[in-house]
Structure 1
């Protein structure tokens, strides 16, 4: 049977740690090329074990209280930015569902230095994660709705440009005399006074393309 070097190394390290009474932690130290402090992410249990064994002089601890009203307001602000309804029923239902947890500790972050390595542990309450998932699902549904509306709006705009381009290309002055893009755009501006310069440019460019297609022998509907 082939020798499993990986398994052998793991077993040897565990034995050595046990014999030397070293603290064995299942984690990887993350280093960067920019010379910043190496970081290791610990589980909650490992963080407590390492602190108990090495007694770092300073431990940075942040316990974040769950601000339900603030979280809901932030979600509503994001929906405002998307241009959707500010207080949908799903968001209100989520607020009622998680009301019992308001003010409780939802997340804890601990950090401390040992031998030049920054050790960090983060823990979140299960209900806190569930709240985040519920709000994100609502926001994602809103984003999809906005995206679908934008696609529909874009489609309607494209149809309007195509319709106006057909009108422009059929106008007697479109190909009269010494033509240029600017002259054709001026004609478009006269015909479609409710359009902004960018839209007029799109209409004129599309009309020129339609005219070229027609001259090349392509039969176009409406031309």
Structure 2
């Protein structure tokens, strides 16, 4: 992928990985728009020179309105990165967890589908472009305190695989970014093994710039998650990660 000549929309680009990737695309020479829910973050990014669009990926009408606004401003749009997401703890012993599960699936999985549905027809009509979904290393190696997060990201992976197959021959590439834990929004305090954001983003952009671009963007730090079943380390790693269940209120066992 030539990163210097793209017109990119990053949905979920107002913080963390999304904001950093938006800045990296812009630094490489691409025209970049960002979408998100936080009005102050959108205003700050507009101050940096980005086109900023309000969008709530859990709301059909909001996604449709954002699509229309983006395409009116950027009819040459050729790259859509959809990465809005939430990470919520859930205690599956307590049925009250379902509210968190519903929010997680609606944002992470159905939100991804809404954005893809909104922009896929445009890219197919162009006969060229790239859709970038964002799953997680947790899609392949679950983190037991966040079961619906794992399920939603596994769903993003499977949906991406199916989308790629269905769009074969259209000229539209489908790429899946698979992040490990990255040090954003306090992750460095929760997980001391989280990758520094700067190094992670550099590795991601290098992989995206390859020709052809890999179907899965796997930084070195996520390969242990992605290939745990193949490598025979899956059961041991899940058991190790289950120790984090002590993070849940009242769960010291």
* Greater helix fraction, Structure 1 or Structure 2: 1
Could you tell me the TM-score, scaled by structure 2's length?
A: 0.18
Could you tell me the TM-score, scaled by structure 1's length?
A: 0.20
